[in-house]
């Protein structure tokens, strides 16, 4: 799953520390959308939750289960079903053929409230190449050895990007049994993300190259690289998470009459192997 984006994380104590007088805010109740479309995957990443302003007494973030959710593309439309096992999650219960360049519209109705958002499915990543499909690295038994060890050359990734579009990479170790490169890995590092031994997401980039250093990896074995081509709305929202919390600016949203993100991804997949050298 793509990096989890927390919407509207506001620190009340920052305000209290900046003003001598008490502040009063009008309560705001808004719907937060977190909706992703992946080419060649089922449409089941549509999530709705409540946002309540810090002036309210009620805690926000609960899944919204009573919405009417529609997905539209040209003259086609689908009524999404709610997943009772995961409150606030909606899906299309049929296969939808997704083509690069398709424009999807999301429509959410809650009583008199109508929320809409649009996104375009990006083109496929083009001419993706990897400098090597395997890399050897000595077994490390002492961290002092690792600090002074000569590392293999990083894995170089290149792709065609004449339009300076944005990409990011998800790197996963997909082995079932762990074989750590470093000794005494912290327990919390094991299967910490999505059930994988190791998973790392890179920042979005509009370059046409990137690299993976062995120093960033923690386990031997087969790794999967998913190269995602993304839209600008994802990049804007990703970058907004880096803002200073004292600014109290709302994160970027492309949702009308609501908050959050509706975006689409297209991807390619490569594999490489990290093997021990004794």
| Calpha distance 202→64 (Å, rounded) | 31
Specify the pLDDT at position 72. 98
In degrees and rounded to multiples of 5, residue 185 shows phi and psi of: -65, 140
Tokens 């689409």 appear where? 264
pTM across the whole model: 0.80
Closest CA to 261 of 35, 17, 23: 35
Tokens 């087969």 appear where? 222
Specify the pLDDT at position 25. 41
Specify the pLDDT at position 18. 45
Specify the pLDDT at position 137. 86
Residue spans per domain, the chain: 12-122+230-265, 126-229+268-277
Specify the pLDDT at position 1. 46
Closest CA to 236 of 250, 248, 253: 253
- In CATH terms, the fold of domain 126-229+268-277 is Immunoglobulin-like (2.60.40)
- Output the 3-class SS for the chain: CCCCCCCCCCCHHHHHHHCCCCCCCCCCEEEEEEEEEECCCCCCEEEEEEEECCCCCCCCCCECCCCEEEEEECCEEEECEECCCCCCEEECCCCCCCCCCCEEEEEEEECCEEEEEEEECCCCCEEEEECCCEEEEECCCCHHHHHHCCCCCCEEEEEECCCCCEEEEEEEECCCCCCECCCCCCHHHCCCECCECEEEECCCECCCEEEECHHHCCECEEEEEEEEEECHHHHHHHHHCCCCHHHCCCCCCCCECCEEEEEEEEEEEEEEEEEEEC
Consecutive 10-residue runs of the chain (278 residues): their mean pLDDT? Answer: 42 39 52 95 95 54 93 97 95 96 97 95 96 90 76 93 96 92 65 75 95 89 96 91 57 92 97 92
Specify the pLDDT at position 193. 62
């Amino acid at each position: 799953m793509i990096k989890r984006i927390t919407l509207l994380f506001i620190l009340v104590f920052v305000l209290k520390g900046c003003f001598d007088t008490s502040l009063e805010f009008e309560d705001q109740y808004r719907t937060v959308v977190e909706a992703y479309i992946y080419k060649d995957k089922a449409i089941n990443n549509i999530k709705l939750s409540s946002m309540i302003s810090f002036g309210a007494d009620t805690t926000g973030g609960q899944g919204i289960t009573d919405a009417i959710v529609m997905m539209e593309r040209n003259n086609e439309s689908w009524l999404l079903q709610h997943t009772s096992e995961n409150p606030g999650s909606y899906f299309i219960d049929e296969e939808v053929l997704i083509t690069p360049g398709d424009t999807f519209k999301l429509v959410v109705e809650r009583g008199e409230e109508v929320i809409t958002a649009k996104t375009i499915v990006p083109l496929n990543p083009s001419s993706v190449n990897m400098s090597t499909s395997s890399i050897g690295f000595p077994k490390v038994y002492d961290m002092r050895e690792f600090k002074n060890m000569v590392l293999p050359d990083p894995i170089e990734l290149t792709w065609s990007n004449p339009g300076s579009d944005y990409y990011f990479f998800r790197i996963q170790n997909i082995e079932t049994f762990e074989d750590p490169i470093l000794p005494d890995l912290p327990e919390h590092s094991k299967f910490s993300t999505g059930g994988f031994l190791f998973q790392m997401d890179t920042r979005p980039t509009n370059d046409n190259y990137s690299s993976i250093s062995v120093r960033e990896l923690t386990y031997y074995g087969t790794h999967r690289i998913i190269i995602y081509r993304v839209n600008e709305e994802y990049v804007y929202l990703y970058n907004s998470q880096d803002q200073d919390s004292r600014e109290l600016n709302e994160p970027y949203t492309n949702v009308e009459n609501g908050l959050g993100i509706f975006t689409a991804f297209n991807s390619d997949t490569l594999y490489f192997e990290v093997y021990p050298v004794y």
